[in-house]
Structure 1
Amino acid sequence: MLDLVYKGILKFNEEKTKILEVASSVTFIETKKNKIVVDTSAKSKTEDLKIYFKNKKINMDEINYVINTHDHFDHVSNNDLFKNAKIINQSNFKELNDPEIEIMETPGHTFDSISVIYGDYLISGDASPLKNNILKERAPGVFVDLELALNSIRKIKSLNKNIVTGHDGILYKNEY
């Protein structure tokens, strides 16, 4: 089971020169073995996360893993809410013990970017922060390596999965 807890936001001023608000998407996955949260968003979303898990009657202490797609504040700031979860990132993703989850390295936005594959879904983090990154095969607005970023976009797109973007909700495979 996969559920989008929060779809993310990336709001700019009119000139698109300054970010006014930023918070990553948050995804909850329940496999046969584990309860997993992918990215925990910015501190501005703390209450939203608490309300979601309360409404779903899921104890946040029962989350086994938090997977961070990369280490930017708008993706990791609520990790502390999941007190018993093992934090998984690019440096230790092989320690994730769940046969239903696959981790794929997707560098470009950062060198440590990863994406999470679960069934028919791929959670891209900021390898694809917006739907248009996939639709127009454009690198994220912020990247450490343009070629790596474009290669990651192409790799993600080639898998033909529903894509949970970093800040723009879900791009369904029938839309691209």
Structure 2
Amino acid sequence: MVREQAGQVLAANLRALRDRGGLSLSELARRSGIAKGTLSQLESGSGNPTIDTVFSLSNALGVPVSDLLTAPADSEVVLVRAADLDVLSSNAVDLRMVRRLTLGDTVVEVYDQRVRPGQTQYSAGHPGREHVLVTSGSLRVGPAHAPHELGPGDYVCFPARAAHTYETVGGPVESVLLLEYPDGVHASHGD
């Protein structure tokens, strides 16, 4: 049930963002590098996106990831239950978006992030800054040319526009990831 609801939110947001930008499915496929058939499935709510797919769509549309994954809030009190969160996965990372915050002109997305041992998550880059706070395990993270090793309680912030990596040092890692989007990256709905 949770995945179905999340899929419907993504479907509605993707259609609205594509329509607002005046983009055809073919043009969005070209910009994002995602097959037109896959985009059609996502817009119908029947697709199963990966982390890479969602970030590619975010970059192609010029919006924060939360513009694709978040339904508008309808209450002043926000309670998020872990069991209600959809998981975006890649070869190395499981992300659960906990919250989107709009602070003035800045959008901050809060994620629960789990990194599996023996794999490396590589990102070619995207707008904004990444803030990482490790809560358990040891993580090598940051710019691909000079990552930092973090243990429990350690924090790093780096520009996300350049290539960067996430890799465990030993066993699994639990961390909090904040994505901070700069002015000029459009946010479609506020808190």
Fold conserved between structures, TM > 0.5: no
> Which structure carries more strand by proportion?
2
What TM-score results when the alignment is normalised by the length of structure 2? Answer: 0.29
TM-score by length of 1: 0.30
Q: Which has the higher Rg, Structure 1 or Structure 2?
A: 2
